[in-house]
Amino acid sequence: MSNTDFVLAVEDLTVSFDGFKAIDSLNLYVDRGELRVVIGPNGAGKTTLLDLICGKTKASAGSIKFKNQEMTRLPEHMIVRAGIGRKFQTPSIYENLSVFKNLEVSYPRGRGVFGALGFKCDDAVKAKVDEVAGMIGLADRLDLEAGLLSHGQKQWLEIGMLLMQDPELLMLDEPIAGMSARERELTADLLNRICQNRSVIVIEHDMDFVARIAHKVTVMHQGKILAEGSMDKVQSDPKVIDVYLGH
Amino acid sequence: MDAIKTWLGRSGLASIAILAVLLLVVFPLAMDTFRLNLVGKYLTYGFVAIGLVMLWGYGGVLSLGQGVFFGLGGYAMAMFLKLEASDPESTKIQSTPGIPDFMDWNQLTELPLWWEPFNSFGFTLFAVVAVPVLLAFIISYAMFKRRVGGVYFAIITQAVALILTVLIIGQQGYTGGVNGMTDLKTLMGWDIRTDEAKTLLYFLTAALLLGAILLCRWIQLSKLGTLLLAMRDKEDRVRFSGYDVSMFKVFAFCLAAALSAIGGAMFTLQVGFMSPSFVGIVPSIEMVIFAAVGGRMSLVGAVYGALLVNFGKTYFSETFPDLWLFLMAALFIGVVMAFPNGLAGLYESHVKPWLARRKQAPAPGGTGGEPPSASAAPAAPTVPHTTTSAAVPTAGIGAKVSSQSA
Ligand SMILES: Nc1ncnc2c1ncn2[C@@H]1O[C@H](COP(=O)(O)OP(=O)(O)OP(=O)(O)O)[C@@H](O)[C@H]1O
Ligand SMILES: [Mg+2]
């Protein structure tokens, strides 16, 4: 396909597991600086879509272009280095390391074997850790073992680990699962702040939360896109009400 | 002073210093040459054990084939020594004088081409490390790039150990077969069979081992060490933070191979021969037991593990030769089930809190303020004094690491 201005252009993407098409000729375009929310019933293929973009699952067919560069054949770590960060559905942090170490290890320098051997935690790294820790509200928790954080804080820490890498595209799978109402509010603010100079894709079920953050909403169903557009438009779409919002 | 103490404790240097005193002062003073040579032999297994701490404890990759690398290092050294021992003068009764005796027995009439470089000591030293590392790289690159791991990888390493043993035994004319390479005498003219040589080789082994421990400790404290721990915990998170996880495992495997090989070479020098019985499946599994008993998270603990298990083996296999294998198996299962962090973990969870409580209680006449490990050390050198930090079960690592960042 031709080059586009989109940060992410997914076209005709298909993946089948033993004949079952979890993603079925899907097209998706994300703008620079856009915060896109993907919703849909359980098993719609939302997580699988993120898996495909970040290389965890290999596509059966179709193309994924990030800044006009084909991603489908790159190994996972090269996709990350190209600028795509991904948060997993269950908080995935290094429980035995301190919050500081969790962030420090995510700093995008010294990524090779010998680079890691020679890596020094200099002022630039410390400044970045402090900046990110401030954003995710863990500035006074840096020395704490990450496993001791609350569930919500773990989710923030994982977002922080991604922010350490300054990705141009950030993908978050159900970031507010298990959070209290107050934590959800803080997370919404955080997401609104971090999408100012990057694109973000969020998978979420909580419609109040979606309304607070979404620029545009994509509704998925059975591996396909059912509807796409503003929150209002999507919410009043009869097809969407039928398969997802109605119950 | 306090700052130095905390730094020593944090970096695990205190426990390394205690080990150094034990190996370089206490043992040489307390033992005759025969026993010292025996300990020197056990210490060569210490190299394998600390390699396993890095690979298995830190990297989470279990290898059941470390004997392969121990053997390759040992054989490389043995080839050099064998060539030196096979000068035309001392082999003049052979039908082809000047080649190793086992070649002559197998009707070889000239030295195989690939043996030639082992006439050079420089090349031999290079080959001791390079050959095992190259093999380790090929195996691990092929496996880890394909995401083969865990039990499957362990089985593959076993297969390699089996293949190498069969190869060595089968190619008698080139390797000395099942007898191995025996009658090694001199190293560049220096007789390695004398008591002085054995003592010197003991000190060389101990010094090299301590150096290797320091190197590994430095790696553990680097970002690479943190990444190895992180990978063991959440491999996908590391991968999706932009790291090529497989290359870090390849590095750990090659490091463990290099350490094992150095141990193998020192073994050959001290024992005076090398044979396939140190290469195969059983010795490889024994090597894992050393690390497991000592504690797979503790470099120093692994060395104590190698020493203790080997002492036990020497004692029991002389007294009850039939029982030994069962005892060893029982020891392994017992340790893994009851004390997953081995003796080092036991020290962390039991001895240290006990020492701390003793310290807290008023000690009349005591100097006070002395670190518990230092005060306990000279009194009971055979009790495994493992590190304050390196020995820690997983929870402790986080605590240690976090204190570093402060
Ligand atoms: N590796 C796999 N092998 C086989 N089937 C899979 C695999 N991964 C996902 N699926 C199937 O693909 C479908 C989509 O799953 P996916 O996890 O993407 O859904 P989801 O939209 O994220 O759902 P949820 O809201 O519950 O997280 C499901 O039916 C799932 O069982
Ligand atoms: Mg999902």
Q: What is the pLDDT of residues A130-150, one digit of tens each?
A: 999 999 999 999 999 999 999
pLDDT above 50 (res A18) = yes
Q: Which of A78, A80, A113 to mutate to test the interface with B (most CBs of B within 10 A)?
A: A113
pLDDT above 90 (res A114) = yes
**For helices B223-233 and B245-271, what crossing angle results, to 10°?**
110
Q: Are strands A20-30 and A8-17 parallel, antiparallel or unpaired?
A: antiparallel
**Do the chains contact at A95 and B245, CB–CB below 8 Å?**
no
Secondary structure (H, E, C), chain A: CCCCCCCEEEEEEEEEECCEEEEEEEEEEECCCCEEEEECCCCCCHHHHHHHHCCCCCCCEEEEEECCEECCCCCHHHHHHHCEEEECCCCCCCCCCEHHHHHHHCCCCCCCHHHHHHCCCCHHHHHHHHHHHHHCCCHHHCCCEHHHCCHHHHHHHHHHHHHCCCCCEEEEECCCCCCCHHHHHHHHHHHHHHCCCCEEEEECCCHHHHHHHCCEEEEEECCEEEEEECHHHHHCCHHHHHHHHCC
> Is any ligand 1 atom within 6 A of the Cβ of residue A85?
no
Between these two residues, A185 and B351, which has the higher pLDDT value? A185
pLDDT above 70 (res A246) = no
Range name among A27-36, B88-97, B320-329 with the lowest pLDDT average: B320-329
Ligand 1 centroid, distance to A44 Cα (angstroms): 7
* Alpha carbon distances (Å) from A138 to A103, A123, A160, A171, B199: 11, 19, 9, 21, 57
The reported pLDDT for the residue numbered B362 is: 55
Contacts of A93 in chain B (CB under 8 A): 234, 237
pTM of the model: 0.88
Average pLDDT over residues B19-46: 96
Residue B71 lies in a domain: yes
Range name among A119-133, B84-98, B181-195, B354-368 with the lowest pLDDT average: B354-368
Which of B58, B237, B245 shows the shortest CA–CA distance to A164?
Answer: B237
C-alpha distance from B129 to closest chain A C-alpha (Å)? 19
Give chain B's domain count: 1
Best of A18, A23, A24, A47 for a ligand 1 pocket test (most atoms within 8 Å of beta carbon): A47
> Is any ligand 1 atom within 6 A of the Cβ of residue A90?
no
d(CA A170, CA A83): 8
Around B194, how many Cα atoms within 13 Å sit in the side-chain half-sphere? 8
Average pLDDT over residues A60-78: 94
Average pLDDT over residues A56-84: 95
C-alpha distance from B308 to closest chain A C-alpha (Å)? 30
Nearest ligand 1 atom to alpha carbon A18: 4
Residue B338 lies in a domain: yes
Range of the domain at B216: 12-352
Range name among A48-52, B3-7, B99-103, B226-230 with the lowest pLDDT average: B3-7
pLDDT above 70 (res B398) = no
pLDDT above 50 (res B385) = no
CB-based contact, A106 to chain B, within 8 Å: yes
d(CA B233, CA B237): 9
Residue B131 phi/psi, 5-degree rounding, is: -65, -50
pLDDT above 80 (res A41) = yes
> Is any ligand 1 atom within 6 A of the Cβ of residue A223?
no
Q: Binning pLDDT at 50, 70 and 90, where does residue B393 land? A: very low
Average pLDDT over residues B159-166: 96
Name which residue sits closest to atom 1 of ligand 1, judged by CA.
Answer: A17
Residue pair A93/B233 in contact by the 8 Å Cβ criterion: no
d(CA A214, CA A35): 6
pLDDT above 70 (res A178) = yes
User: Across the strands, what pairs with B244?
Assistant: none
Residue B359 lies in a domain: no
> What is the separation, in whole angstroms, between the first and last Cα of chain A?
39
Which of A65, A84, A39, A54 shows the shortest CA–CA distance to A216?
Answer: A39
The reported pLDDT for the residue numbered B224 is: 96
Task: Find the CB nearest A80 among B223, B234, B240.
Answer: B240
Domain ranges of chain A: 1-83+169-246, 90-166
Residue B54 lies in a domain: yes
* CATH number for the domain that contains residue B125: 1.10.3470
* Alpha carbon distances (Å) from A128 to A94, A153, B166, B167: 19, 19, 55, 55
This model of the complex carries an ipTM of: 0.93
Q: Binning pLDDT at 50, 70 and 90, where does residue B353 land? A: confident
The reported pLDDT for the residue numbered B399 is: 34
Name which residue sits closest to atom 12 of ligand 1, judged by CA.
Answer: A22
Q: Which of A97, A103, A128 to mutate to test the interface with B (most CBs of B within 10 A)?
A: A97
Residue pair A170/A7 in contact by the 8 Å Cβ criterion: no
The percent of residues in chain B predicted with pLDDT above 90, rounded, is 70
Closest residue on chain A to B403 (Cα): A143
Between these two residues, B146 and B376, which has the higher pLDDT value? B146
Residue B369 lies in a domain: no
Average pLDDT over residues B174-203: 94
**Do the chains contact at B239 and A76, CB–CB below 8 Å?**
yes
- Tell me which residues have their CB within 5 A of the ion that is ligand 2: A 47
Q: What is the pLDDT of residues A181-239, one digit of tens each?
A: 999 999 999 999 998 889 999 999 889 999 999 999 999 999 999 999 999 998 888 88
Residue B358 lies in a domain: no
Average pLDDT over residues B175-188: 94
pLDDT above 90 (res B164) = yes
Architecture of domain A1-83+169-246: 3-Layer(aba) Sandwich (3.40)
d(CA B241, CA B243): 6
Task: Find the CB nearest A165 among B242, B247, B403.
Answer: B242
Q: What is the pLDDT of residues B282-304, one digit of tens each?
A: 999 999 999 999 999 999 999 99
Residue B371 lies in a domain: no
C-alpha distance from B403 to closest chain A C-alpha (Å)? 7
The percent of residues in chain A predicted with pLDDT above 90, rounded, is 84
The reported pLDDT for the residue numbered B8 is: 55
Closest residue on chain A to B225 (Cα): A117
Average pLDDT over residues B229-257: 96
The reported pLDDT for the residue numbered B12 is: 78
Secondary structure (H, E, C), chain B: CHHHHHHHHHHCHHHHHHHHHHHHHHHHHHCCHHHHHHHHHHHHHHHHHHHHHHHHHHCCCCCCCHHHHHHHHHHHHHHHHHHHHCCCCCCCCCCCCCCCHHHHHCCCCCCCHHHHHHHCHHHHHHHHHHHHHHHHHHHHHHHHHCCCCHHHHHHHHHHHHHHHHHHHHHCHHHHCHHHCECCCCEECCEECCCHHHHHHHHHHHHHHHHHHHHHHHHHHHCHHHHHHHHHHHCHHHHHCCCCCHHHHHHHHHHHHHHHHHHHHHHHHHHHCCECHHHCCHHHHHHHHHHHHHHCCCCHHHHHHHHHHHHHHHHHHHHHCCCCHHHHHHHHHHHHHHHCCCHHHHHHHHHHHHHHHHHHHCCCCCCCCCCCHHHHHCCCCCCCCCCCCCCCCCHHHHHHHHHHHHC
Contacts of B403 in chain A (CB under 8 A): 143
pLDDT above 50 (res B377) = no
Ligand 2 centroid, distance to A239 Cα (angstroms): 21
**Do the chains contact at A75 and B241, CB–CB below 8 Å?**
no
d(CA B385, CA B16): 9
> Is any ligand 1 atom within 6 A of the Cβ of residue A17?
yes
Task: Find the CB nearest B224 among A54, A106, A117.
Answer: A117
Residue A199 phi/psi, 5-degree rounding, is: -95, 145
The reported pLDDT for the residue numbered B338 is: 83
pLDDT above 70 (res A2) = no
The percent of residues in chain B predicted with pLDDT above 70, rounded, is 86
Residue B138 lies in a domain: yes
Name which residue sits closest to atom 16 of ligand 1, judged by CA.
Answer: A45
Q: Which of B237, B389, B403 to mutate to test the interface with A (most CBs of A within 10 A)?
A: B237
pLDDT above 60 (res B7) = no
